[in-house]
């Protein structure tokens, strides 16, 4: 089966693209798919414990089974940015 993987923030940097298509065996779980991604893109390994994964725009646990044509999103944790006004 083929899925589309959407990558955000640091995951996008680790993969080098905002999205990639991945071929996986039928019955692959979200966790197994992420492990395959780490094999292909070792920079993703640092996000293994913190990344949120979503299937078709809904958060999913790693035991969820993927289907052909699904969209898997890899969403790393993010923190705040700079203040918009300097302190006085």
| Span 52-79, pLDDT tens digits | 999 999 999 999 999 999 999 999 987 6
Q: What percent of the chain has pLDDT over 70?
A: 89
- Residue 11 resides in a domain: yes
Residue span of the structural domain in which 30 resides: 2-75
Number of domains present in the structure of the chain: 1
- Residue 7 resides in a domain: yes
- Residue 12 resides in a domain: yes
In the chain, which ranges are E strands? 2-7, 19-23, 52-55, 58-59, 71-75
Overall average pLDDT of the 14-34 stretch:
97
Domain CATH number, residue 17:
3.10.20.30
pLDDT at 78 (0 to 100): 76
Query: How long is the chain?
Result: 88
């Amino acid at each position: 089966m083929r899925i589309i993987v959407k990558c955000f923030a640091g995951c996008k940097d680790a993969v080098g693209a905002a999205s990639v298509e991945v071929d996986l065996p039928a019955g692959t779980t979200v966790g197994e798919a992420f492990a395959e991604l780490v094999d292909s893109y070792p920079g993703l390994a640092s996000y293994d414990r913190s990344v949120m994964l979503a299937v078709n725009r809904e958060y999913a646990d790693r035991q969820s089974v993927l289907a052909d044509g699904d969209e898997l999103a890899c969403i790393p944790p993010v923190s705040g940015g700079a203040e918009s006004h300097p302190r006085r």
